[in-house]
Amino acid sequence: MTVPYDNSPKFHDYAHPERLVSADWLEERLDTPGMVIVESNEDVLLYETGHIPGAVKIDWHTDLNDSVVRDYVDGEGFAALMKAKGINRDDTVVIYGDKSNWWAAYALWVFTLFGHEDVRLLDGGRDKWIADGRLVTTEIRPIKETDYPVVERQDDDIRAYLLDVLAHFGNPLIDVRSPEEYRGERTTLPSHPEEGSLRAGHIPSAHSVPWGTAANEDGTFKSRSELDEIYREQLGLSDSDDVVAYCRIGERSSHTWFVLSHLVGLPRVRNYDGSWTEWGSAVRVPIVTGAERGETPAPR
């Protein structure tokens, strides 16, 4: 069963317009069979204060991460989560969240690791839905469990590990954190907790393109032509490039991964989810401080 795509003119120009839905589109289709709405936020309680009617909650930390190893859940864990959330393998999943969809993009990226085919983002996310005065509810509906198959995670295509990044030198790297974090003045966002990086700075040769460059004030994505101007013209990325994006723990770079893969249409983009909390504590990996990208080390 395929839920029709959103034909909004704004989306036509994107490389993969089927990955986005607008609030108008969603509001008209809240109870569509074969579609599940998922809310994914930074704050674990925000969903409980009011959510889009019928939406289920998936928390990036307590649901998508393994509770012991620093990794995502495995195939069985993901299947159990999908079952508990009432999601079938062929369902359309529409994800939205706070902070301009950081965590929603992160959840979408994890769904993609498991090859869930039809997963879309709500343009503008939670904040715009609420700012527009659209309906929210605190009602939590009972969920009918599904029978989601156990599918093993496929990390290779869209996930980079530390060793991959060391071998990647010479290819485009994008640091999507704030300029202060890039320069090494701090290891966390101005408003975020210290999360244990022992060194500050950036991976040598990384371009600094903060994630928010791709978003409008209201949290929606910029138009295709604006995104092409930023990433293809100014940064010089092209379809033949192999791109790796990183941030602090991989959430903001999921946003950029979504933009580059689905909106700008670059075929090879990976998210380095270990990001600065791994690189900034790893022994004997090169680091550059200051505003310059620094020399490109030899790949190893």
Partner 1 sequence: MTASRIPPELAAIQEDFLALESTNDRLQFLLELANELPELPERYQDHPELFERVVECQSPVFIFVEVTDDIVHVFATAPREAPTTRGFASILVQGLSGHTVDDVLAVPGDFPQEIGLTQAVSMLRIRGMTAMLARIKYQVRARLDQPVTPGP
Catalytic residue list: 247
Q: Which residues of 229-258 are buried (b: 16+ CB within 10 A; e: fewer)?
A: ebbbeebebeeebebbbbbbbbbbbbbbbb
User: Which residue, 61 or 141, has its beta carbon nearer to partner 1?
Assistant: 61
Query: Quick one: which of 198, 185, 219 has its CA closest to 279?
Result: 198
Nearest distance from C-beta of residue 62 to partner 1, angstroms: 5
Q: How far is the CB of 46 from partner 1 (least distance, A)?
A: 6
Least distance (Å) from partner 1 to the CB of residue 173? 26
In the complex with partner 1, which residue's Cβ is closer, 191 or 240? 191
Q: Are 76 and 150 in contact (CB under 8 A)?
A: yes
Nearer to partner 1, 85 or 120 (CB): 85
- At its nearest, how many Å lie between partner 1 and the CB of residue 192? 6
Q: Output 59 or 118, the one with its CB closest to partner 1.
A: 59
**Helix (H), strand (E), coil (C) string for the chain:** CCCCCCCCHHHHCCCCHHHEECHHHHHCCCCCCCEEEEECCCCCCCHHHCECCCCEECCHHHHHECCCCCCECCHHHHHHHHHHHCCCCCCEEEEECHHHHHHHHHHHHHHHHCCCCCEEEECCHHHHHHHCCCCCECCCCCCCCCCCCCCCCCCCCCECCHHHHHHHECECEEECCCHHHHHCCCCCCCCCCCCCCCCCCECCCCEECCHHHHECCCCCECCHHHHHHHHHHHCCCCCCCCEEEECCCCCHHHHHHHHHHHHCCCCCEEEECCHHHHHCCCCCCCCECCCCCCCCCCCC
Q: How far is the CB of 193 from partner 1 (least distance, A)?
A: 4
Nearer to partner 1, 1 or 44 (CB): 44
Residues that bind partner 1 (CB under 8 A): 42-46, 48-49, 59, 61-62, 98, 191-195
Nearer to partner 1, 48 or 292 (CB): 48
